[in-house]
Amino acid sequence: MKIGVPKETRSGETRVAATPDSIKRLGSKIAGVKFLIETGAGTAAHFPDESYKAVGAEIVDRKTALGAELVLKLHRPDEEEVGLMSKGALLLSTIEPFKNDGLMEKLAARGVDAIGLELIPRISRAQSMDVLSSQANIAGYRAVIEAAAHFGRFLPTMMTAAGSAKAAKVIVLGAGVAGLQAIATARRMGANVEAFDVRPEVKEQIESLGAKFIEIDIGESGSGAGGYAKELSPEAKAKQQKGLTERLKKADIVITTAQIPGRPAPLLVTEEAVMGMAPGSVIMDMAASTGGNCALTEAEKIVVKNGVTLIGTTNLLSLVPADASNFYARNLVNLMYLIVKPGEPPALNLDLQDEIVAASLVTHGGAVRFQRR
């Protein structure tokens, strides 16, 4: 079986879907697989072609990598990439299935089966395959680093002969995987941390990391299916914004992480809140790619409004490319243990009765299986 790994072409992307480590891991359990790595695919993540050759991979051109029986990617393919894939091939990639732009229909017409990695269910046996969680963990860590780099003062309390500085006050909005890692990182750096989430059940997790849970009565629970937050009613949104605004004005750093699958990011930080923050404060908006949690965020830009720095970087993961690639690639290896049947030669085995496969397989046998809500 040939597994192709093309170079990612999205602007600013430095990660790669397979690493020398992941190739060794898969080969140790499933003999007979051959990795075809596009020239330079791992260079930006600090994995040169020679490191792939050292573990038995073959360095090939783009057409050959995309024409493999199994193709591994980070981002959804574009039309040109779909056209280079082989009929009957399987694609493992994020698909962004809620976008109604015809991609899944093009994959189906090409005869390409595709698993949308963001659709892997949040169940115990799928945890090791969950790319959203592994990547969000890294993004939450990097968000704090970026915010601290733009903050003109210390995060921890500092006592010196020249005087002392108080610990920074950090507020994290959203306590999913990224938010919890942001809380943990900011606490390790010595900041005073508070956090808010519309799901009351995460209070214990927030407090276990040494942060204070912000209590706001919004009149309803924001807990949705699969552990995700759901969209609030207009009334609850208004109460949430009102309750947060005065608190946010007192923050030195605000890190927002709130997103709802398939929908624009909820507005949490109003223009009034930004204008009330002290000059030198920082807002790191991790939801910038889906509209932003802050009213003044500009995606892919770092701007200053009323003395407040707003960071709209949308791919924090590309700032930690080696570890982000390794984590992502290991997730794919664990998924391949499920869908690749060992043998002479190994073969794809998509069991539609398996809940992981059934939930994430968006195209199969020339048809689109995913149903947009």
Which positions are annotated as active-site residues? 122, 127, 130, 133, 228
d(CA 180, CA 203): 11
| Residue written as token pair 């600013």 | 12
d(CA 348, CA 259): 34
Going by C-alpha positions, the residue among 333, 338, 339, 341 that lies closest to residue 22 is: 333
Eight-state DSSP code of residue 288: G
d(CA 194, CA 213): 6
d(CA 291, CA 5): 31
Tokens representing 54? Answer: 């050292």
Cα angle, residue 317 at apex, residues 311 and 323 outer, rounded to 5°: 145
d(CA 342, CA 31): 7
Identify each DSSP E strand in 111-182 by its residue range.
113-116, 158-160, 163-165, 169-173
Q: Which amino acid is at 10?
A: R
φ/ψ of residue 263, rounded to 5 = -135, 160
Residues 4, 66 contacting (CB under 8 angstroms): yes
Eight-state DSSP code of residue 80: H
DSSP run (H or E) holding 145:
helix 131-150
Q: Which amino acid is at 147?
A: A
Q: What is the 3-state secondary structure (H, E, C) of 120-134?
A: CCCCHHHHHHCHHHH
